Amino acid sequence: KTIAAGPTETINWLMPLNRLIVGMVGDEMSVRSNSFGATLTPLNVNIKGGSSQGVAPIEPVMVSNRGYFVQRSEVRLYELEYSPGQDSHESIDMMTLNPSICKEGIVRIAVTMQPDTRVHLVMADGTMRSVLFNRIDDVLAWTRIETDGTIEDIVVLPETGQDALYMVVS
């Protein structure tokens, strides 16, 4: 299927949420079939535009039915949440209260689910940022993480009791 959405659109990633989300340089588009419950095929497709924020070429992460992606500026984190009233995904800026916390530039994203949900971001300067959030208690808190070295990469592995966050530090 060809998606005509701008003069130079590059697809950076696909994310399977309530709908298939296509992350492009200029938008996050929602792809679904023409009729409810029908199989998505090249001839049975309906594409809706998103926030027009655009996405960076950094792999997004999913938490339940929400997605988290780095905006095309590479300094902002956005959440994709399905809105039944509009039958589409809304892009929510996770940095409204602290817009400059990732000004160094984001290069990698990972998520831990236990004991709390946290999104971890590796920054271009070798530090890390983490955002803790809890919808029930209305919590959204950012923190900076620094080491004696340079954080190059992160990975999360599930373990009993809590997820383990491993870092490659030079």
pLDDT single digits (tens) 49-88: 778 888 999 999 998 889 999 999 999 999 998 877 777 7
pLDDT single digits (tens) 99-119: 999 999 999 999 999 888 899
In 3D, which of 83, 170, 96 has the Cα closest to residue 131?
A: 96
Q: In what order do the strands lie in the sheet with 128-134?
A: 106-112, 118-123, 128-134, 139-145
- The reported pLDDT for the residue numbered 156 is 95
Q: What is the pTM of this model?
A: 0.87
- The reported pLDDT for the residue numbered 5 is 59
Longest distance between any two alpha carbons in the chain, whole Å:
55
pLDDT single digits (tens) 145-158: 999 999 999 999 98
Please state, in angstroms and rounded to a whole number, the distance separating the CA atoms of residues 141 and 134: 9
Which carries the bigger pLDDT value, residue 165 or residue 19?
Answer: 165
- The reported pLDDT for the residue numbered 38 is 78
Are 95 and 102 in contact, with CB atoms under 8 Å apart? yes
Please state, in angstroms and rounded to a whole number, the distance separating the CA atoms of residues 100 and 69: 17
Q: Is the pLDDT of residue 7 over 70?
A: no
